[in-house]
Chain A
């Protein structure tokens, strides 16, 4: 009986553990780690810089998700890199879970904002949203300080893949 209770308790606790596992992972990432993440020559990377408080960013996120979903069989990776404050990790996780984001979600870890933004692109004012496409095999790396419709994003991918 005691044993049975123990098993029941064990089962319950696994259920308990399983529930938070559905929370979307959001990984803090430094610029150096980002460089490493996007270094695979076989893959085209589309990195979207956004924030939970940035309305135009939130509005265009579905376009990036749609691109990732549409080309899930192709070597293209969409990375959603939040520029929210580092202290807002939980808010970003909640946001990503609620929206059921399928792309990889990161949170910028930037000891110096100026350095981080300059490293991404010298000409980036820091305004959001921003999007970068990287195709290491073709030596392509472009940054855009603008919003993207799905068609524009698809065109960006098609012309740089």
Chain B
């Protein structure tokens, strides 16, 4: 009996380890909803968006030069697609102790200075970041609302030109959302998220 218990314990530990190390979502997975604090103090969940057809979930932050380079393009995505049913939901994944520029107060400042039209939430426990498998800032997950839940349709970069220097660059997120809006399948479903690594809590 004792042996069985030990075996069970090992099995449970094994499972937990596996879950923590699942590498995040893949295209086709159903993404879990979350409840994260927005810069306006209110909690944000995907379920709050009754009329949405889907979401452009962007892991981004204040400090990272890549995130800064993409900031206006993230704002443009919301302006272009929120009305069409795909609002931007921004999540700051970083531990503010490791990166003080990404503190909640600094996030509030940034959002109001720039006039973000979308929620800019903080993942204080970093659980959502882990669950989604965000690796960098910025890292985008395009979700489509279905009967099964919010299905991941695209994971990766916003486009292939952080510096915005090539006018013919490929707009991965726009292409994905445009395809979903016209009932087509997404041609490029995943790309590499190039940016700054996530600043994880030390000793977590």
Mark A residues whose CB is within 8 Å of B. Answer: 53, 85-87, 111-115, 117-118, 124-127
Contacts and interface: CB of A to CB of B under 8 A. Distances in A.
B191 interface: yes
A113 B162 contact: yes
Contacts of B135: 125, 127
A114 B159 CA distance: 9
A115 B169 CA distance: 11
Interface residues of B, number: 18
Contacts of A111: 161, 166, 169
Contact of A86 (B165, B169, B197): B165
B169 A112 contact: yes
B163 interface: yes
Given A86-B163, A114-B192, A53 B197 contact: no
Smallest CB-CB A-B distances: 7 pairs: A126-B194, A114-B160, A112-B160, A126-B192, A111-B166, A85-B163, A113-B160
A120 to B, nearest CB: 11
A87 B192 CA distance: 22
A48 to B, nearest CB: 18
A40 to B, nearest CB: 30
Given A112-B160, A114-B157, A125 B65 contact: no
A115 B160 contact: yes
Interface of B: 65, 69, 135-136, 157, 160-163, 165-166, 169-170, 191-194, 197
Is the contact region of chain B dominated by helix, strand, or loop, or is it mixed? Answer: loop
A113 B194 contact: yes
Contact of A112 (B65, B136, B170, B193): B170
A118 B194 CA distance: 12
A40 B129 CA distance: 44
Given A113-B194, A126-B194, 7 more contacts: A85-B69, A86-B165, A111-B169, A112-B160, A112-B170, A114-B194, A127-B136
A124 B136 CA distance: 14
B166 to A, nearest CB: 5
A85 B192 contact: no
A113 B165 contact: no
B112 to A, nearest CB: 27
A113 B161 contact: yes
Contact of A125 (B161, B162, B169, B192): B192
B128 to A, nearest CB: 20
20 contacts: A53-B65, A85-B65, A85-B162, A85-B163, A87-B163, A87-B165, A111-B161, A111-B166, A112-B160, A112-B166, A112-B170, A113-B157, A113-B160, A113-B161, A114-B170, A114-B191, A117-B194, A125-B192, A126-B193, A126-B194
Contacts of B162: 85, 113
A118 B191 CA distance: 10
A126 B157 CA distance: 11
A113 B165 CA distance: 11
Nearest to B157: A114
A124 to B, nearest CB: 8
Name which of A87, A112, A117 has the most chain B CB atoms within 10 A of its CB. Answer: A112
A117 B163 contact: no
A138 B197 CA distance: 35
A111 B157 CA distance: 15
A84 to B, nearest CB: 9
B26 to A, nearest CB: 15
